[in-house]
């Protein structure tokens, strides 16, 4: 299992290319921008991209989905509960002038597979499973890769968590989702949607929001 991290777009979203070095089958998590750079990497590594896995549908996680899907024919997996964000105006209007600048770039082809609780896809001998973790958006998911990695999107960050003040956000649900992650058995590498990386055990020990969540 190889995972390459890319920081894409104006907001600095973490996009991850996952692939198996033997079969060269792969998937990409949250291609939020810079489609040319990502496609160049996929091409250089000779990866056959099977899936585009989305932790949620905020614009900074999906702006390169259209271009990558057209180039690779990979299947887009995302929660139906975030479908309200598939429309450019609805997605970008909360961001005012900055959002209006991005209207021309908004290019989302829709979902091929709706991610629900426990939805699994396999590629390159690996299994990616969706855990519904609403709060940041109604359709936010954590993507569990085998028993080793959690792609936590904008739900769990290193020592922080995602904002809940955008349309569809819900602080009470965020706390429930953080509690759920706290209670997952075992340890995982935590690869969030923004900023630094972590482990679940490190977050259990010292993430102030996760600790608030378990205090109830």
Q: Does 154 bind Zn ion (CB under 5 A)?
A: yes
Q: Residue 44, SS3?
A: helix
Footprint of Zn ion on 49-88 (CB under 5 A): 58
To the nearest 10°, the Cα dihedral for 171, 172, 175, 176?
-140
Stretch of 68-76, 120-128, 154-162, 178-186 contacting Zn ion, by CB under 5 A:
154-162
Task: Find the radius of gyration of the CA atoms of the chain.
Answer: 16
Q: Does 173 bind Zn ion (CB under 5 A)?
A: no
Nearest to 105 by CA among 138, 64, 143: 64
Distance CA 167, CA 12 (A): 21
Residue number of the CB atom closest to Zn ion: 58
Residues 109-148 as x/- pattern, contact with Zn ion by CB under 5 A: ----------------------------------------
- Closest CB to Zn ion among residues 124, 192: 192
Helix axes 171-182, 208-215, angle to 10 degrees: 90
Minimum CB distance to Zn ion, residue 55 (Å): 8
Number of H helices, E strands in the chain: 8, 14
Minimum CB distance to Zn ion, residue 153 (Å): 7
- Closest CB to Zn ion among residues 26, 139: 139
- Closest CB to Zn ion among residues 25, 154: 154
Do you know the residue count of the chain? 216
Minimum CB distance to Zn ion, residue 59 (Å): 8
Q: How many CB atoms lie within 10 A of CB 21?
A: 11
Minimum CB distance to Zn ion, residue 136 (Å): 6
Q: What is the largest CA-CA distance in the chain?
A: 48
- Closest CB to Zn ion among residues 154, 173: 154
Size of the site for Zn ion (CB under 5 A): 2
Binding site for Zn ion (CB under 5 A): 58, 154
């Amino acid at each position: 299992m190889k995972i390459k991290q890319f920081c894409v777009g104006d907001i600095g979203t973490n996009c991850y290319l996952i692939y198996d070095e033997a079969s060269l089958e792969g998937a990409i998590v949250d291609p939020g921008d810079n489609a040319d750079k990502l496609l160049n990497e996929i091409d250089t590594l000779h990866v056959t991209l099977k899936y585009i896995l989305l932790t949620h549908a905020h614009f900074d996680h999906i702006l390169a989905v259209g271009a990558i899907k057209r180039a690779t024919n990979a299947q887009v997996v995302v929660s139906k509960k975030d479908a309200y964000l598939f429309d450019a105006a609805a997605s970008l209007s909360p961001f005012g002038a900055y959002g209006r600048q991005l209207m021309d770039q908004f290019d989302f082809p829709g979902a091929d597979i709706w991610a629900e609780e426990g939805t699994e896809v396999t590629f390159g001998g690996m299994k990616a499973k969706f855990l519904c973790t609403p709060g940041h958006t109604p359709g936010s998911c954590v993507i569990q890769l085998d028993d080793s990695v959690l792609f936590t999107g904008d739900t769990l960050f290193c020592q922080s968590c995602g904002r809940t003040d955008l349309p569809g956000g819900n602080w009470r649900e965020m706390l429930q989702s953080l509690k759920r992650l706290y209670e997952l058995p075992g340890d995982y590498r935590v690869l969030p949607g923004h900023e630094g990386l972590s482990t679940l055990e490190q977050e259990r020990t010292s993430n102030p929001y996760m600790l608030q969540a378990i205090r109830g």
